[in-house]
Copies of this chain bind each other. A is one copy, B any other.
Amino acid sequence: MSDPAPPVVILDKSQMAENIGAVARVMANFGLSELRLVAPRDGWPQERAWATASGADWVLEGIRVFDSVAEAVADLNTVFATTARPRETRQPVRTPREAARVLYDDRASGLGVGLLFGGERAGLETTDIALCQGIVTIPIDPRHQSLNLAQAVAINAYEWRTLVLDAPPPNFREGEPPASGALMLGMYEHLEKELDAAGFFHPPEKFRSMSQNLRVMLGRAAFTAQEAATFRGVITALSKGRGRVLARLAASRTDQSSD
């Protein structure tokens, strides 16, 4: 068996072009090649990235730029968010070693896999973490947490390559693979639109945290594409049913008022 294609690296809102180059360099060191940028602060391409890439030009030349994390992960099935501090999202938290193993198995099953990294200062937003299938936490000393972006990529890329070189037989998933990021996002947005129409998000400023909690809860179930479609059927049935109930109520009121 040839080695499975390595995970896509996604950098959210990176600031310094030098860091993008340094990330490309360590990706090449460990055999990763596909880099995606979400809303890089200074646009792309940036001349200064080439100096720090130290010859890993093919990684920089293959970069694709996206406006949002949702778009950047739309074709991927398993994406882990790398963040030092597990947030309040109740998602599985893995070490880089454990994460590499899951990504390896999923990739060997033909799924699209990726690793998401936050910007140099702000890190990742919970909204974007909620779109991922889990969290990777590098075992940083709590006394000195500031880990350089390229170092964080390097640790994960190193674990991937170490795993591939050891070449264990992949553990294939039992049954159907999980749906793509795009399919899940479509399902989430469908649900949220109907819930919003039903007045579920109350008070309105709670929309964000409530929708995140829902996404994380449902995300843990790892729906297949078929199950996501089924769930959308559920949403439609419930909301249409509510519509019918409302219509009937309205009709009966009209009947009453016409009495």
Contact = CB atoms under 8 A, between A and B. Distances in A.
Nearest to A54: B146
Interface stretch (A23-31, A43-51, A233-241): A23-31
B141 A30 contact: yes
Looking at chain A, what size class is its interface with the partner chain?
Answer: 20 to 34
Given A151-B26, A155-B154, A31 B141 contact: yes
Q: State how many copies of this chain the complex holds.
A: 2
Interface string A15-49: 00000001001101111000000000000000000
Interface string A143-172: 111111011001100100110010000000
A145 B95 contact: no
A214 interface: no
Contacts of A55: 144, 146
Closest 7 CB pairs of A and B: A28-B144, A31-B141, A151-B154, A54-B146, A29-B147, A139-B165, A155-B158
Interface of A: 22, 25-26, 28-31, 54-56, 95, 97, 138-141, 143-148, 150-151, 154-155, 158, 161-162, 165
